[in-house]
Amino acid sequence: MNMKSKLSTGVLTLAASLALFGANAALAQTGEARVYNSNISLAEVEAAQKAWGEALVKISDDYQSGGLAKAKATASAVLDGAYGYKLGPVLFKPTLTVEPQTFRTTKEGALSYFVGGDTNFPKDSGFALKGWKKVEVSNAAVHINGDVANTMGKVSMTDKNGKVTTVDKTWTFKKDDSGVIRIVLHHSSLPYAAN
């Protein structure tokens, strides 16, 4: 690269930097500064997991006290508040799904899994309607990188009769532009049992 080309490239780089500086200065003057990376803390991840468990119990309680319509409204609100469907497809593999509907990447598919009643998902019986009373999360590990956190571990759910069901669960949480932690991956399966 000759001196003229280097100078031209340098001028373009400087111009681009000044344009970016000017754009950020204009945002700062209007109070609309952009946040490009908002880190997630371990406390936020654990709070999101706890909230997920409390939401599962709430859906079950609402089903017992107000029937399917009340449970469905609660589940829909939970999906809107906890999951990242506005960020793109959510990678959701529920515990008890089978081909050809094993994976649920849409809110409709997730809602059907939690409360059933959708003819497009005829095998769903409503996982969240099973009388859950307590949920405990035990992480094997948590990996945090910037605005994304991955967790893997066990989730134990106790039903109204005291029966405990434990599943292996992996979550990925992402902090969105408004600072809300969203589930963008949720994989759940029953622990492997050797013959």
Q: Which of 27, 79, 39, 71 is nearest to 184 (CA)?
A: 79
pLDDT attached to residue 38: 64
| Res. 1 pLDDT band, cuts 50 70 90 | low
Report the alpha-carbon distance of residue 84 to residue 29 in Å, rounded: 31
Please state whether the predicted TM-score (pTM) of the whole model is above 0.85. no
Query: Which position has the token pair 């050797």?
Result: 194
Question: What dotted CATH number matches 42-189?
Answer: 3.10.450.50
Residue range 36-43: mean pLDDT, rounded: 78
Dist. CA 41–CA 186, nearest whole Å: 19
pLDDT at 160: 95
Q: What value does the mean pLDDT take over residues 141-156?
A: 95
Domain map (residue ranges) of the chain: 1-34, 42-189
pLDDT given at position 98: 78
